[in-house]
């Protein structure tokens, strides 16, 4: 789960369109969903990340988002 505490950011699941994030937004991320999240270009982004205990719910860090993919996003 992501709780956006300030700034402007993006959340994107593998194969889906990016979602704009702002303060107060909450994103529920199901186990096994490949995704990325971070600040918008030239902005800052603050969030809390909460992992709920359960079976097969550990975090797995994957590759970074490429600059070419990131720069395609527009506000």
For residue 75, what pLDDT is reported?
A: 67
Q: Distance of alpha carbon 16 from its chain centroid, rounded? A: 12
**Helix (H) or strand (E) segment spanning residue 24:** none
Yes or no: is domain 2-70 CATH 2.60.120.10? Answer: yes
Do 38 and 9 contact (CB within 8 A), yes or no?
yes
Report the sign of the C-alpha dihedral through residues 75, 71, 27, 30, in that order. Answer: positive
DSSP string computed for 5-23: EEEEEEEEETTS--EEEET
3-state secondary structure of 69: helix
Domain boundaries, the chain: 2-70
For residue 54, what pLDDT is reported?
A: 78
Block means of pLDDT (10 residues each) for the chain, 75 residues, are 97 95 96 92 95 76 87 83
């Amino acid at each position: 789960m992501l709780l956006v505490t300030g700034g402007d950011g993006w959340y994107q699941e593998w194969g889906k369109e990016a979602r704009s994030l702002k303060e107060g937004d909450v994103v529920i991320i199901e186990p096994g969903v490949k995704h990325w999240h971070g600040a918008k270009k030239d902005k800052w982004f603050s969030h809390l990340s909460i992992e709920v205990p359960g079976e097969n719910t550990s975090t797995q860090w994957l590759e970074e988002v490429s600059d070419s993919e990131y720069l395609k996003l527009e506000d």
